[in-house]
Structure 1
Amino acid sequence: MLRSPCPTRSGIRLCQACEPVSGRRWIQSAKRPSSALRIGALSPAAAPRANPIFPIAARSFTTSRPCLVVKWPQSPQTLNASPNRFGRTQPAGHPLPDLAGCVAAVNRITKAFLAHSGLPSEETTLKALQGCAAIDLRLLGDAVERRAEDPASETRPASQLLGLDRVVPKTGDKPVPQASPSLRPHDVIDKISDAAYAIVAHPTVVITRKVLEEYIRLQARLGRPQTLPQVLALYAGKPRPKLASGTVQYVERDPNKAENAVDRAVADMALDAAIEAKNLEAAIGILENTYASKAFIRSKIINKALLPATAVVTTPLVLYFIATELAQMQYSLDSQTATNMAFAGALCYVGFTASIGAVALFTSNDQMKRVTWALGTPLRHRWLYEDERAALDKIACSFGFSEEHRYGEEEGEDFMWLREYILHRSMVLDKVDLMPGMN
């Protein structure tokens, strides 16, 4: 019997948060507005916190490989235990974490840090972030799983009674105060994420590499990568505070300078956090503020192209010196003619061999899985934006099918947008002539 096709679910619409820092045009679809996320233009105080959005691509394009359930022998301690969503057993009667205590600890850390006068040092900022990360998130994760397994437990009378505050009896005309809603594990996780963002986005905080790594590591543990693009933009262009005459002054910074580029290892960590959380919006925002930024491209030119360029410039001088020495070893021609002939021959040989090697290096595609370069893309463009292509390749492989023979069968608004986005970056997703069996 043929199955009726499932109705297509509407995906997310990426907010306007990623400013096109790479200098290339963005997508302007016929029926959808541009998806530029202008997080770089927002001030740290006015930057809103994005709600957690789980794209439809993460739900609809997962692997079709069947899940194998392994039955473990039950021990006497786990006979009365209830298995959670990931197969781990939670012993019966395990106490819930003290959510109110966690919130109070986070508020205490945030208040103490923001009340600090002057410019906080890097160690102070790291201690504040580590204090937020010191909360046992495993208990919160278990509580989230139990709530997800039994969503009706929040509406039961018993759970409602457990969340009531102490009710003050009515005296005179004073009304009875309403009961405050009980805290949920998701609220505590959001509270920790908001506190970490408030610490990093504070105007007097200097976001160094260690602070950025600690923040990314914390948000990855929380599963909240929504603010990572904003913090990466602040890392590159946040005004640097300076203490002068007892007052704090701010020095503007150019986010396009090579010294303000995000390191490759930090960018990979942030992208992995967004992919693990199945957040396509955050993944694209991280890509725009790291691999596709002008600062990253300039840093790559300085670190990787400066030495080869110096070798190319000095090679003719070295060849001419060698040709001059070779001309002294013969007596058939005059010295100048022999020098010119030897120099021309050596220069043609080295130039031809180096050109063949450069073309072979820039056109190699063994590392490409799904995202490849479009025909006619200049070789210099391929080398400069190879890191961006690799990041888009990782995103496409993470949000699409895991089976190689099913590449190109993804559907849905999110994946169609991703395919169109890749096409506007001079790249092609699932090029037919490069797929297995088609070359």
Structure 2
Amino acid sequence: MNQLPLRSHRAAQLQRTVTCQLCEFSSTQARRSFSVGRGAAAAAAASNPRILTIRRPIVSRSSRLSLAQPLACQTGTLRYRSRQASSKNAHLLESEKQAVEGLETEHVANANGHSNASPANSHLSLREITSMIEGCAQKTSELLARSEVPGNAEVEELLLKYEEAARAIAPYWDVRDENAPSGEGKGNAVSSLLEMQEHEGSVTHIRDAEEILRTLADQVSTSMTQIIKDEKVFISPKALEHYIRAQCTLNRAEYLPEVFHLYANKPIPEEKSNPPKLHQANPKDVNSAVSADLANQAIDVAIKQKNLPLVLAMIDNTFCAPAFHHAKVFRRAAVPLVGLAAAPAACFTLASWASTLQNTMDPSTATGIAFAASLAYVAGTSSIGILAITTANDQMKRVTWLPGIPLRHRWLREEERAALDKVACAWGFRDPYMHGEETGEEWESLREFIGMRGMILDKTELMEGMQ
């Protein structure tokens, strides 16, 4: 007589498949399942092994609570997701798995000694950010109240602390776009900050937190600008870098053109002098040039703000400045020019040595022939390379040079043209077949500005469909 396999009731099978969607993918604790229908399942397995089915284990609540939670803001987000996942379908399982894996990865990194991160990279609470900025403001007041010229290292260290404070504000609230509507990312960031405050024992509403963050951002921007504008402070390249990066992080680009102008024209104070002794600055000096990376960062922030006059003022005080042109010639063309100047002497020395390796003609004649041949080769290859560098136009999108502009000017002002090209792409249509159809007062002023600089906007021969 055949034996019928015993199966557990369908309700018991359904009960075994009910699993917490967050804890199902956790690997920190061993998974334990309820003993529902265990005897019936064992009997069925003994009678017929083929009817065994894979069942998801159910994790107990104790193993869920033992999950490591190093960051309060991330655990708050996970709790919110776990409540939402209980009412949604299986398409949320993958996102919950990634969240738990990221949390476990951070926990392992902290255990391995990577938790000693700087305050600029770690998530700080609102109280910690406020205390950090208050300490910087106190040092700023002491520095500005002194009659002695402060040291460059002291100024750079203070601006570095302000930069760290700006980076500490950025993760919680997107202060880079004042006119943008409050989205999900912004609300989640502020909610995470409020949850951290709740763990510390202080409770603040979302609007209050946003206002506090805005006030702190304004305070950082204003204090740094006061330091840079003070006549006793020398704007070193490192100090300018800290200032620009902090202002770009806070989206405060209103004072950047003025600071760029001061960097090249501000009188240089003598360090540790009391009263301050000022020396006249040379705006055409190589050291007075703003680096291209910092200038592009500032221009990107102004483009994001959709402030065309601010963008053009930045271009005027960075890429159009004489110091930038001199610095480019000194840093990028000095070595090739020295090589070209030394080429005749090198060719003559090489020709004199080569004439001793033959006995078919007079040594002086052989030297002259070898010298002429080597010098012609160097001159020909150099001229072809110069033409290739100065006439390259693959990087041009909407702004090109007017006919008749010298090649040396095209190479020297390439960064200026690239910046105006970026501005034109940001203000115009994205569809290349719509280029040339833009209208408006700002667009006409931009076209006129580009034309006055020896360039042309949307040259007909280079537009899509007009070749």
2:373 equivalent in structure 1 = 345
1:185-264 equivalences under 5 Å are 189-242=217-270, 246-264=274-292
Deviations 1:228-266 (A, max 9, x none): 011111112211112577422111111111122112222
Alignment partners' CA distance in 2, 1:340 and 1:321: 11
Matching residue of 1:59: none
SS in 2 for 1:247: coil
1:115 pairs with 145, 149, 163, which one? 145
Amino acid across the alignment from 1:221: T
Q: CA deviation at 1:129?
A: 3.6
In the alignment, structure 1 residue 434 sits paired with structure 2 residue 462: yes
- Answer yes or no: is the 8 Å Cα contact 1:140–1:185 preserved in 2: yes
Structure 1's 190 and 336: CA in aligned 2 closer, same or farther, altered over 3 A? Answer: same
Alpha-carbon distance in 2 for matches of 1:144, 1:382: 35
Whichever residue aligns with residue 389 of structure 2, its letter is L
- CA gap 1:348/1:253 in 2 versus in 1, 3 angstroms: same
CA contact (8 A) 2:148 2:272 kept: no
Corresponding position of 1:89 = none
Conserved 8 A contact 2:355-2:366 = yes
Structure 1 residues 245, 126: closer, same or farther in 2, change over 3 A? closer
Q: Distance in 2 between matches of 1:243 and 1:331?
A: 68
Letter in 2 for 1:424: M
Instruction: Output aligned runs, 1:38-437, within 5 Å.
Output: 75=81, 108=138, 110-130=140-160, 132=162, 134=165, 137=169, 141=174, 189-242=217-270, 246-437=274-465
Give 1:191 deviation, angstroms.
4.3
Q: What is the distance in 1 between the residues matched to 2:177 and 2:388?
A: 52
Query: Partners of 1:325 and 1:272 in 2: how far apart?
Result: 56
Letter in 2 for 1:426: G
Contact 1:109 1:132 in 2 (8 A): no
Letter in structure 1 aligned against 2:424: A
SS in 1 for 2:278: strand
Distance 2:176 2:315 in 1: 33
Structure 2, gaps ≥5 residues long: 1-79, 86-125, 183-210
How many angstroms does 1:318 deviate by? 2.1
- The 2-side partners of 1:192 and 1:390 are apart by 31
Higher normalized contact order (CA 8 Å, seq sep 6+, divided by chain length) = 1
C-alpha deviation, 1:339, in angstroms: 2.6
Gaps of at least 5 residues in structure 1 are: 1-73, 80-96, 150-182
CA distance in 2, matches of 1:243, 1:318: 46
The offset of 1:433, in angstroms, is 0.9
**Distance in 2 separating the partners of 1:143 and 1:366:** 32
Contact map agreement 1:319 1:343 (CA 8 A) in 2: yes
Q: Is the 8 A contact 2:176 2:250 kept in 1?
A: no
Check 1:252–1:76 CA distance in 2 against 1; reply closer, same or farther (3 A cut): same
Provide the TM-score with structure 2 as the length reference: 0.60
Q: Is the 8 A contact 1:225 1:279 kept in 2?
A: no
Q: Which amino acid aligns with 2:252?
A: R
**Aligned equivalents of 1:239 and 1:209: distance in 2?**
15
- Give the fraction of aligned pairs with identical amino acids, expressed as a percent: 37
Query: Which structure has greater helix proportion?
Result: 2
Letter in 1 for 2:154: T
- Assess, with a 3 A threshold, how the Cα gap between structure 1 residues 261 and 319 changes in structure 2: closer, same or farther: same
Quick one: distance in 1 between partners of 2:372 and 2:215? Answer: 73
Post-superposition Cα deviations, 1:78-97, rounded to whole Å, max 9, x if no partner, equal: 89xxxxxxxxxxxxxxxxx8
- Closer, same or farther in 2 for the Cα pair 1:143/1:336, shift >3 Å? closer
Provide closer, same or farther for how the CA distance between residues 145 and 435 of structure 1 changes in structure 2, counting only shifts above 3 A: closer
TM-score (norm 1): 0.63
1:401 aligns to what SS in structure 2? coil
Query: Matched residues in 2 for 1:345 and 1:137: separation?
Result: 65
2-side partners of 1:228 and 1:142: how far apart?
17
> RMSD across aligned C-alpha pairs, in angstroms?
3.7
The answer to whether the Cα contact below 8 Å between 1:143 and 1:185 also exists between their aligned partners in 2 is: no
Q: 2:434 & 2:175 partners in 1: Cα distance?
A: 35
Contact residue 109 and residue 131 of structure 1 kept, 8 A: no
Map Cα deviations across residues 162-188 of structure 1 (whole Å, 9 max, x no partner): xxxxxxxxxxxxxxxxxxxxx797666
Q: 1:77 to 1:223 in 2, by over 3 A?
A: farther
Question: Secondary structure at 2:277's aligned position in 1?
Answer: strand
1:127 and 1:325 map into 2 onto residues whose CA distance is: 58
Q: CA deviation at 1:307?
A: 1.0
Q: Distance in 2 between matches of 1:146 and 1:434?
A: 36
